[in-house]
Amino acid sequence: MLQQRPHHPVVVITGASSGIGQATAEEFARRGARLVIAARNASALHSVASRCRELGAEVLVVPTDVTKADEVRQLAQKALSFGEIDVWFSNAGVGAVGKFDETPQEAHEQVIRTNLIGHLNDAYAVVPIFKRQKHGTFINMISLGGFASAPYAAAYSASKFGLKGLTESLRAELAPYRDIHICDVYPTFLDTPGIAHSANYTGRALTVPPPVYDPRKAARSIVRLANHPRASLTLGSPARLARLGHFLAPNSTARIMAGILARYLKGAPRTEVSHGNLFRSAANPGGVEGGLRASRPLPTFAILTVVVIGFAAIALARTRR
């Protein structure tokens, strides 16, 4: 546990240029961590570093593309200049929304490279270091997409399901090392710029359904997880409900969600098709928050999730009969 370490912990965060990565960097900074922050956008990283230094942290900026294994290895070696690595928060992620056959194949591949191969590169770089140290915590940012597939986001769903399998395998393999921890985080929709950065091949404006989770609250939970590691952390009741619905009847749940999304996209405002930040970093990283939270609480998503679970339970009961 970090609180048992006699020095300021060394924390590496990928995908730290905005959103939950930035929020988590700031939260660790408040706790006196020595930070090594990485992302493709060097300018945005320096802005995050300035904020973290104001909060009292030592910060090393290492521009890194996690899809490139050699860059991730260099990131790990540079982090060791601070001393032993205590926490590696593998957080880089991208998305592409669109019908499967209307999304360019290179977009599907880039989502897999970032969301799955990128995290594998992170683990490959740091796990040998953890073994030599005989301690360390690897935290993987997954999403509710790791256990409930997202229609119109096939590659994203594939990457998150794969990432869940990767970390479960690592956790089993590293079980003999009592002070090495592999942790998964499954958040509900977060109020970050992520949806604005996603590739959009639908021709319709994208948003996420409420309630939307506060990324700073999520960051505090991730810091607590680093201090008290456990295998899995689910953030937000919608994620828990979606997980239950998928467990009860995965195919029915996915079909219902596909219908809901199709109806939404049919009525959404038109917009240009965009590659988002798939192939290059976003011109405007956007900070921590994405402005997605409504001024008043809306129970829409909670209601939809309950309906999904209800239909799933009915479908399961009929199947069993």
Active site residues: 156
Token output for 223: 């810091």
Distance CA 201, CA 94 (A): 14
State the pairing for strand pair 96-97/136-141. Answer: unpaired
DSSP-derived letter for residue 279 is: S
Find the helix or strand (DSSP H, E) in which 239 lies. helix 237-248
For residue 251, the Cα-to-chain-centroid distance in whole angstroms is 24
Find the helix or strand (DSSP H, E) in which 34 lies. strand 34-38
23 burial type by CB count under 10 A (0-12 exposed, 13-18 middle, 19+ buried): buried
Omega before residue 211 within 30° of 0, cis? yes
| Dihedrals phi, psi of 199, to nearest 5 degrees | -65, 140
Distance CA 175, CA 300 (A): 41
Token output for 170: 């690592």
The Cβ of residue 115 has, within 10 Å, a number of other Cβ atoms equal to: 27
Distance CA 194, CA 162 (A): 20
* Residue that the structure tokens 């230094």 belong to: 53
Distance CA 24, CA 94 (A): 18
CB 312 within 8 A of CB 252: yes
